[in-house]
Structures are given as C-alpha cells and as structure tokens.
Structure 1
C-alpha cells in the first residue's frame, strides 16, 4: 500500500517543478483568479499544514479532522493531504464528530463541537483571515507560514485505518484509490466536480498517475474552451451523478 504521503513524495521526486494543480475561480462574483502550484510547492503547503495539525493540535492516527472547504479548490487539496500525512481521518461529512475543524466559517455551529478550529481564507494572496477571530482559532493565512517546510509523522497509520469519511461511507487508507475511473498516466486532467470526498481522492489519483489537475470552481468549461486548450487539458475527470455544474 502506498500512503498518500509516499505518493506525493514520489511525484516530487519524479519532477518537482511540474504543475500539480492549476486552479481557476469561475464562481459568479468570485475573484476570477488563476493559481498554479507545482509539486514542490504543494509538498510545502502540505508539510506546513501537517505540522500545524501534529505539533499545534496534537492530531495523530485516530484523530478526526473535518475539512469544510469547497470543492474543487486547491486549499481543500493540501489540507486533505496534510490530514493523511499525519495518518488521521479526514471527514467531509459535516455531521461527523471531529477533533479539529478546518473551515471558512469559524463561527458556525460546527465549530462548537470541535476542540480546535482553523479559519481559512480562500483567496490566494490572503495574509489574514480578514475579520476578527475569537480566542483559540488559528488564522491559517497569518500563522501557517511559521510551520516547517518539511514534515515527519510521529506515528504511521495502518492500512485498514479510516482515511476518509464521505457520504456516510468510510474509506480505508488501503482503498483510497480503489474503484475510481481509470486515469491515463501523465494526464492533464480537468476536475470540476463539487463532491469534496470524490475530489480529494481524484487529486491523490492524479499524483499517483504522474499527472496534474486543472481545477475549475464554477460552471464546467465546455469542450474546446480556449483556456483549457491553452492549459493542454487532455482528460476530463469523471464526477459522481449530480455533481457537475455550479459550485456549491
């Protein structure tokens, strides 16, 4: 079994400078930003977030982290990989009990049931969350940079440990890449689905297949879209039924 951290490390070792994720915000009234993240930069984001979880919040195998961020989004991708690097359980089901909440809404009812809360500003150039946070809430934009660029897990998960809770289902670490539609090796994949559980597995699959992903948050681009042609997209990732279209 290849753990997610090993998959990311192999992708970096193969070609650190190759894009891992290219993100477009096409939501109505959104920032309209394009952000490209190389494999090496993604590893750095993952390492910092994993160190924050492990050192700052005592997250370990057996811990549950609820990541309540939109899909598809590059910040959801690195937080998911960070949770898996620590060996904890990632849940995207908001009804699931969790030790840590990573969210854009740190004052929601979800935060009342979590010991630790991380407030995330989605904008790529954000340097603070943008509003006052209550005591004990981590401002990701202001604080994450202080954590180390390299990460070593203190404990390793087992193959049958739960890696992901999504749609009421529990997926083990051994099965994270099971039952996914086949992905061509080295593909430049367009990812548009809004199911966060499926999305984080797609990102891991792209890395495992020596590929890269173009994430479009908003309406799915039509075939022949000029930007997707310029991005050299050669594969459209499958999405669960009902998950194509405007972002949630």
Structure 2
C-alpha cells in the first residue's frame, strides 16, 4: 500500500464531491477549489505522466522543488502512487519536479519536469530547459485513472528516507495530536519544506489523514481571520 492509497483512498471513499483543497495565492488573486474527485483525477493524470513519460517506477527518487500549492499536493500523491520516493534535493534524483524559481537547481537531476503553476494552465514556454517536460501542457493528455503495475510494500522508501509505514503513521499521529477530524476545514499559510518533513506532515498529510479539507494560502496578505470566516474554517495552522 502506498502513502496515496493509505491517506487519499479513504478520503475519496467518503464524500468525494466535497472540497479537498481550496487554494489561494494572494500575490495573483487566484482562488481554485478542488473536490476530492477532481483532485483524485489530477493525481491519476500526474502519476500516468510520471510513469509513462518520465519512467518513474517503484523506488525512483523524485525531487520535489515546489511550493505549498495544490499542484504540489497532486504531484506528491502521484509520486507515491507510482511507488517512488520524494526527496528534497535534485542531486542524486532521477527526476526533479520544479517551478520556474527552481529550474536551475533541478538540472542536477536526470530529467526535469517544469511546473508553471499557472492558474489557466499555461506552460513555461521559453523558460523551460531543453529536454525538460512541461507539466502544464503534457499532463492534460493523460488518463484520469491510474493502475499501478506492481504492489508497494510498507517498507518501501517514501519521503526523505522514511518508509511508507512511517510516513502514514506520522500523518495519522499528527492528525490526532492536532485534534483534526473529518468535519474540519483547515486554513494554513505554512510552507512544506521537504528537508524537514514536519511542515509537510502538519500542513498537508495530517489534514488528509484526518479526512479534513485544506484551505492553503500562498503569499498570504490581508485579513486571514476574515477569510477563515468566509471559508467556514474550523482550524487555523
């Protein structure tokens, strides 16, 4: 069982029509809301892209050089759906997923997948390094369902050296410690640094493990308390 199977599948088995992630970028004015079903489709599309075009397979180290963003959440779940390991550094990684700010660092990996993070799905265009894959343009053609080729063991590497069982247990433990439940709507302005996994566990995986929904804010500005009221937030991280 992968991290994605353990944490996302139970969420989708409940009410997949309810919001899983509501994403704001206060620098651009962007707001996008993804239901569980829609998020699951993005995970499947991304996993198919990684496997079919980037040769990501069980055990492949994949560097994720991306900010706290809904596309990052989908990419993380897709990497795990493939049975691959998420790492923080491009050096030694076979594939690196990077936004425009981190494309140069991503070049240390064998293959770069560039993320524009554009709200309207525009690619990176001329900013994309030669030989790199443009996520925004390539992911669209891939299927909304992903079938893994081989089963993944609980002892398979998943996140910065920690195995699947350890990551899943940490997410569930933090969900309990934070008092998160399936009815919660959690607002977070936290980043997800992979060098230390605590931010990712608290800011995303624990929310997923609890069956709660996430309101993630990038470049926070203005009155977050007012936003919390508008979004019917029950918890603020």
Alignment of 1:155-174 (within 5 A): 155-165=150-160, 170-174=161-165
Normalised by the length of structure 2, the TM-score is: 0.86
Alignment of 1:232-243 (within 5 A): 232-237=232-237
Partner of residue 8, structure 2 = 8
Asked if the contact 1:192/1:220 (under 8 Å) is kept, the reply is no
Q: Does 1:175 align with 2:171?
A: no
Partner of residue 57, structure 1 = 54
1:76-119: CA deviation from partner (whole Å, max 9, x where unpaired): 1110000011111001x236521001111388443332222111
TM-superposed CA distance for 1:221, in Å, is 6.7
State which of 73, 77, 88 in structure 1 corresponds to 2:73. Answer: 77
Partner of residue 34, structure 1 = 31
SS at match of 1:203: helix
Q: Does 1:191 align with 2:188?
A: yes
Higher helix share: 2
Partner of residue 21, structure 2 = 21
Over 3 Å counting, the alpha-carbon distance change for 1:47 and 1:200 in structure 2 is farther
Distance in 2, matches of 1:54 and 1:19, equals 27
Distance in 2, matches of 1:143 and 1:2, equals 25
Over 3 Å counting, the alpha-carbon distance change for 1:125 and 1:65 in structure 2 is same
Distance in 2, matches of 1:129 and 1:48, equals 19
SS at match of 2:107: helix
Over 3 Å counting, the alpha-carbon distance change for 1:221 and 1:31 in structure 2 is closer
Unaligned runs of 5+ in 1: 238-248
1:138-169: CA deviation from partner (whole Å, max 9, x where unpaired): 1111110011110011123221222111xxxx
Asked if the contact 2:41/2:145 (under 8 Å) is kept, the reply is yes
Aligned length: 227
Partner of residue 231, structure 1 = 231
Q: Does 1:47 align with 2:44?
A: yes
TM-superposed CA distance for 1:52, in Å, is 0.8
Distance in 2, matches of 1:164 and 1:121, equals 24
Partner of residue 244, structure 1 = none
CA RMSD of aligned residues (A): 2.2
Normalised by the length of structure 1, the TM-score is: 0.83
Over 3 Å counting, the alpha-carbon distance change for 1:63 and 1:151 in structure 2 is same
